[in-house]
Structure 1
């Protein structure tokens, strides 16, 4: 896999890893704002998250990879 974003085959991604974080220089896999992404999750446009703990929410790598494919990206 020769892309700028090396995603693991399985696992979980936090929101900042998906939409990026300028403060910590994490590039966006999906260039969209936090509110727009969360509204898309709520409407069913984007995958549902998985609760890993009381204060930890993440998305399956497989779901995000499929979403990027649907949106026309190459990850």
Structure 2
């Protein structure tokens, strides 16, 4: 299975979160961790399916147990 890697601007676009919010949530264990893309850890990305699952979980939580908002 091929994994698509998203860079920060794409993650911001998909989630609607700011850069600082993303990193704060990572530090709090509330957002998928980035992966190193090589080098000295400066180039990072996120696995697209991890971000998609996170967004889906947010939608599910916002709708509550009965599926209604």
TM range (shorter): 0.7 to 0.9
The answer for the alignment partner of 2:20 in structure 1 is 35
State how many pairs are aligned: 57
Q: Is 1:56 matched up with 2:43?
A: yes
Q: Aligned-pair RMSD on alpha carbons?
A: 1.7
Structure 1 gap segments, 5+ residues each? 1-8, 20-27
TM-score w.r.t. structure 1 length? 0.68
Aligned mates of 1:68, 1:11 — CA distance in 2: 16
Q: Which has the larger radius of gyration?
A: 2
Write out the 4+ residue segments of structure 1 that deviate beyond 6 Å after TM superposition.
Answer: none
Deviations 1:17-47 (A, max 9, x none): 110xxxxxxxx11111110111001111000
Higher helix share: 2
Aligned mates of 2:8, 2:27 — CA distance in 1: 14
Residue 10 of structure 2, aligned match among 10, 14, 17? 17
Aligned mates of 2:27, 2:46 — CA distance in 1: 14
